[in-house]
């Protein structure tokens, strides 16, 4: 197993996330013991996005965190440097919320 370091190239990091994109939401939930769902709920509650407002979701991954804002009527843009994650998001798998 490779240790994490700050000298990784962005393309290598993006490739790592591209490779896990299809399973990312499940892995995230398992690694955090389900806390990822709580964090997303708290972020949605704290932001309290409303129709007509704009939300920029940086490091959006599969878009799971973006969905509640869009559902609330906010104009929501999901950004991530992993195209694999964004492809999963645009493929309709982002509907799982926690």
pLDDT tens profile 14-33: 999 999 999 999 999 999 99
Q: Give the closest residue to 93 by CA, choosing from 15, 26, 40, 48.
A: 26
How many structural domains comprise the chain?
A: 1
Quick check: is 5 in a domain?
A: no
Q: Which domain, by its residues, includes 45?
A: 10-95
Where residue 94 falls among pLDDT bands split at 50, 70, 90? very low
Tell me if 3 is assigned to some domain: no
Region label for 96, one of left (φ > 0), alpha (ψ between -120 and 50) or beta (otherwise): beta
pLDDT (tens digit per residue) in 68-86: 999 999 999 999 999 999 9
Q: Quick check: is 4 in a domain? A: no
Residue 90 lies in a domain: yes
Contact 51, 76 (CB under 8 A): no
What does each C-alpha distance from 66 to 2, 16, 27, 69, 70 come to in angstroms? 31, 21, 18, 6, 6
For residue 73, give the CATH number of its domain. 3.40.50.150
Asked if residue 24 is part of any domain, the answer here is: yes
Alpha-carbon Rg of the chain, whole angstroms? Answer: 14
Q: Across the chain, which distance is largest between two alpha carbons, in Å?
A: 46
């Amino acid at each position: 197993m490779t240790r994490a370091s700050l000298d990784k190239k962005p393309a290598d990091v993006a490739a790592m996330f591209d490779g896990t994109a299809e399973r990312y939401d499940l892995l995230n939930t398992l690694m955090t013991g389900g806390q990822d769902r709580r964090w997303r709920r708290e972020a949605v509650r704290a932001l309290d996005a409303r129709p007509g407002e704009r939300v920029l979701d940086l490091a959006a991954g599969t878009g799971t965190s973006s969905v509640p804002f869009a559902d609330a009527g906010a104009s929501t843009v999901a950004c991530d440097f992993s195209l694999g994650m964004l492809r999963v998001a645009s493929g309709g798998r982002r509907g799982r919320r926690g």
